[in-house]
Structure 1
Amino acid sequence: MSEKVNYGIIGSGMMGQEHIRNIALLEGAEVVAFLEPDPGMAAATAALIPDATRYGSIAELLNHAPLDALVIASPNYLHVPEIMEIAERRPLPLMVEKPVYTSPDQADVLTSLGYPAPIWVAMEYRYMPPIASFIGKVQDVAGTASMLTIREHRFPFLHKVGNWNRFNAFSGGTFVEKCCHFFDLMRLILNAEPTRIMASAAQAVNHLDENYEGRAPDILDHGYVICDFDNGSRAMLELSMFAEGSTYQEELSVVGPRGKIEVHVPGPTRFWPDDLGPPPTARIVTSPRSPKRPREMVIPVDPALLAAGDHNGATFYQHQRFREVVLGRAEVEVTLEDGMRAVRMGLAAQQSAADGVAVPMSAT
C-alpha cells in the first residue's frame, strides 16, 4: 500500500463536510468518493472536492478503486445497517461517527458482527487540544480523580436534512446523540467503568413550536446526569442546549487528593459575534491544594483548524491518528467497544430521566 490514503465518505452533510475539510489539510490523504442523497448537501460537497466521484449507493461506492478507508457520517440510525453492508461487501478500515448505535437491538448486531478490519469511533472531544492537554495533566495536578464534572452550555440542535435529530427514534435521544462524547471522556479520565447512572432532564425551551408531518420533537434540551464508577469515583454532566450566550461551551473539572484542574473551551468560532472582537481562547486552570497557587494557562488552537470545523481542531488530529491505523502503523485509539460503552451510558441516562430512578449498569 502507498503512503496515500484514499477516503470514501458516506454521508456528507454538516459533519461529513467537516471531515472532508480536515482530510484536505492532512498530508497523504484525499477524499476520492462520496455518497450523499440530498441534492443540496451533495452540491456543497462537490464544491469542496470537485475531483471526487459521487455515488448513489454504498454498493456503488465500494466498487470504487483505489479506496483505502471509509468515514460514516450519516444520520445516527443508519450507522449499524451501513456497517453491516460494508462488512458484507468490502470491509475497509472504518471511521464511524458517534453514536455508533442508537438502540439495544443494534448493540446486539454490533456485538456479533466480527468486523475484520479496524473500526475507529469518532469521539472528537478526546482530541480537542485543550481537553487533550487537560487530560494529560490530571494525574500530576489532582492525583487519582475522585470527582469529575463536565458542563456543556451550548446552542440548540442545528437543523439537519430530514430533521432526524429532532426525534429519539432516529438520534437515540439527547444523552446518546450529544452526550456520548462526555460519557466516553468520563471512562477515559477516570479509567473506570460506570456502575450506576441517575438522570433528571426535560424539554423546556427548544423545539416546542416545531412540527414535522404531524410529529412534535421529543428530544431533551437540558438535564443532569450523575454516574458512579467501579473505582469509587463519580462524575456529573450538566447540559443546557439553550445557553449559546456563554463565553465557554465546555467546562471540565477534576478534583483529587492533590488538587483541582479545570479546562474552559469555547464553542465554534463561526457563532462568535464579530462586534465582540476576537473569539475567546481555551484555558486551563490548575489549583494545587498545597501550596495554594492557582495558575492559568492559555491553550491556543491553529486558526486553520478552527476554520475547518466546529471541534477546536479535534477532527484533524483524529484523522492524523486514523491514517496511521490505515497504513498499519498504529492501533485504534477509540475502539468499537469504547463507542458502544458510551452509548450504553447514554441509553441508561435516557431511561433514568424517563423513569425517575437510578439505573444499575448491570441491568442495561
Structure 2
Amino acid sequence: MTTSSIGYGIIGCGMMGQEHIRNIALLPDAHVAAIFEPDPAMMTAALALAPDARPAASVAELLAMDTVDCVLIASPNHRHLAQLEEIAALRPVPVLVEKPLFTDAADERRIAALTARLPFVWVAMEYRYMPPVANFIEHAGDVTGGIRMLTIREHRFPFLAKVGDWNRFNRNTGGTFVEKCCHFFDLMRLILKSDPVRVMASAGQAVNHLDERYCGETPDILDHGYVLIDFAGGARAMLELSMFAEGSRYQEELCAVGGDGKIECRVPGPGRFWPQHLGATPVPELIISPRNPPGPRLLEFPVDPRLLAAGDHNGSTYFEHARFVAAVRGQGKVEVTLQDGWWAVVMGLAAQRSAREGRTVHLAGEFTLPT
C-alpha cells in the first residue's frame, strides 16, 4: 500500500453510512473516493458530505474504480452477506463491514467460505473503541482479579426511522438481539476472553411500534429483554435492554465483578438527544471499586467535541477508522475478525430463539461452532 491517501468505496449511505463519512473526513490519510447508494435522497446527502466522491450505480461499478483501495459496507443488515460475497467474487479489497455480519441462522455456513476468499474483513464493532469502554476492557481483569460476573445494560431510545422502514421487521434485521445487541455480545467475549456455551433470554415487544403499520404489517421487533449467558471459562454475563428509556442520564452501563473488586463504565447517549435545558451532556465515566481497601474511585473520559459532532457513538467511529486504515497500510492487524462477527450474531440468534421458544439454547447443539 502506498503512502498516499486511502480511498474508501462506501456501500450504503443512510444514517450510519453518513456518520462513517463524517469520521473518514477527520482522518489525515483517508478520503471517500466512491459511493453506491440506491436511494436518491441519501445519495444527495452523502455527496454533500463527500463532494469529491464519484457516484456508482452498483457495487460492481464501485469496485471497478481504481481510486477505491478499500470498501465500507453500511447497507441494511440483510444486504451485508451478499455484498461481501460480491466483493469476494469481483475484487477482494480490504472491507470494513457494519454489524451484523449476517441475519439468518441458515446463512452461518457462508461465513466460513468467505474466510478464504476475503482475507481482510474487519467487522465494525464501534463500542469497543468508545474511550471509557476501551479503558474498562483494559483494566477489568486487574481490578476484579478475574471477572466472575459481567453485566451490560442499555437503556435507550426506540429504533429510528430508516429508508424503506427495513429495520421494523426481524426478517431484515435478524431481530433486536442481533441488530442492536450483537455489539454487547461481542464485548462480552472480548472482555471475558471466552466463548459462550448456553444462552437464556426473556424478551418482548411492550411499548414501541405497536401502532405502526407498513403495507398492512405490524413491526415484530423486540423492544426490551434480559439475556443470561454462561461462558466456557466459568463466568456469567447478563444483558439488560430497554428501548423505551431515552430519559436516562446514561445509555450504556457496564459492570464487572470478581474476587478483588468491581469496575463500572457509564456512557451517555448521543448528544443530539440530550435535553438542552439540563445543560451540558453527561461525561463518560469509569468507577473502580476495590474490596480491600474499599473506596470507589471515579475517572472521567471527556471526548473531543469534533468527534462527538461527527456521530452518535462517543468518538468510537473515528478511532475504529484510524485503526482500520493503519491495518490497510500494513501497520496493524484486523482487530474484529469474521469469526468475532460470527459469534456476535450467533449469540444474538440464540437469544432470539430462547426468548421465542422459552428455553435454554445450548450453542454446541444448535450451531456449527468454529474448530
TM-score (norm 1): 0.99
1:31-70 alignment, distance < 5 Å? 31-70=32-71
Determine helix, strand or coil for the equivalent of 2:262. Answer: strand
2:119 match: secondary structure:
coil
User: CA offsets per residue over residues 284-331 of structure 1, 9 Å max, x none?
Assistant: 111100001111111111110011001100000001110011111211
Distance in structure 2 (CA, Å) of the matches to 1:165 and 1:354: 19
CA deviation map 1:120-163 (0-9, x unaligned): 00000000001001111112211110000000000000000011
8 Å Cα contact 1:34-1:53 kept in structure 2:
yes
Distance 1:348 1:118 in 2: 27
Q: Read off the aligned partner of 2:309 and give its amino acid letter.
A: A
Taking the aligned partners of 2:117 and 2:89, their CA distance within structure 1 comes to 9
3-state SS in 2 of match to 1:148: strand
Query: 1:335-360: CA deviations, max 9, x gaps?
Result: 00000001000000000000000100
Residue 277, structure 1, aligned to residue 279, structure 2: yes
Give the match for residue 196 of structure 2.
Answer: 194
Secondary structure of the structure 1 residue equivalent to 2:253 = strand
Deviation at 1:177, TM superposition (A): 0.2
CA distance in 1, matches of 2:109, 2:234: 29
The structural deviation recorded for 1:51 is: 1.1
Amino acid at match of 1:298: E
1:234 aligns with one of 228, 236, 254: 236
- Report the 3-state secondary structure (helix = DSSP H, G, I; strand = E; otherwise coil) of the residue aligned with 2:319: helix
Which sections of structure 1, spanning at least 5 residues, go unmatched? Answer: none
Pick from 173, 183, 186: which aligns with 1:184?
186
Percent sequence identity over matched residues? 61
Report what 1:164 is aligned to: 166
Alignment of 1:127-166 (within 5 A): 127-166=129-168
Q: State how 1:1-364 maps to structure 2 within 5 Å.
A: 1-3=1-3, 4-113=5-114, 114-362=116-364, 363-364=366-367
- Give CA deviations for 1:53-82 in whole Å, capped at 9, x if unaligned: 111101111111121100000000000110
Distance in structure 2 (CA, Å) of the matches to 1:287 and 1:37: 50
Q: Tell me by how many angstroms 1:260 deviates.
A: 0.4
Question: What CA distance in whole angstroms lies between the structure 2 residues aligned with 1:236 and 1:130?
Answer: 20
Task: Indicate conservation of the 8 Å contact 1:222/1:241, yes or no.
Answer: yes
Calculate the aligned-residue CA RMSD, in Å.
Answer: 0.8
CA distance in structure 2 between the aligned counterparts of 1:155 and 1:223, rounded to whole angstroms: 14
Looking at structure 1, the residues matched to 108 and 300 of structure 2 have their Cα atoms a distance apart, in angstroms, of 40
Shift of residue 31, structure 1, vs aligned partner: 0.3
Report the Cα distance in structure 2 between the residues aligned to 1:230 and 1:116, rounded to whole angstroms. 29
Distance 1:337 1:9 in 2: 23
CA distance in 2, matches of 1:252, 1:330: 28
Would the aligned equivalents of 2:203 and 2:224 in 1 still touch at CA under 8 Å?
A: yes
Which runs of at least 4 in structure 1 moved beyond 6 Å after TM superposition? none
Q: Is the 8 A contact 1:94 1:117 kept in 2?
A: no
Q: Could you tell me how far 1:115 is from its partner in structure 2?
A: 2.3
Cα distance between partner residues in 1 of 2:285 and 2:8: 34
Structure 2: how far apart are the matches of 1:93 and 1:195?
Answer: 32
Q: Which moved more, 1:97-106 or 1:248-257?
A: 97-106
Alpha-carbon offset, residue 105 of structure 1: 2.2
State which drifts further: 107-116 or 278-287: 107-116
Asked if structure 1 preserves the Cα contact closer than 8 Å seen for 2:62 and 2:68, the reply is no
Structure 2 counterpart SS, 1:67: coil
TM-score, with length taken from structure 2: 0.97
Amino acid corresponding to residue 179 of structure 1 in structure 2: C
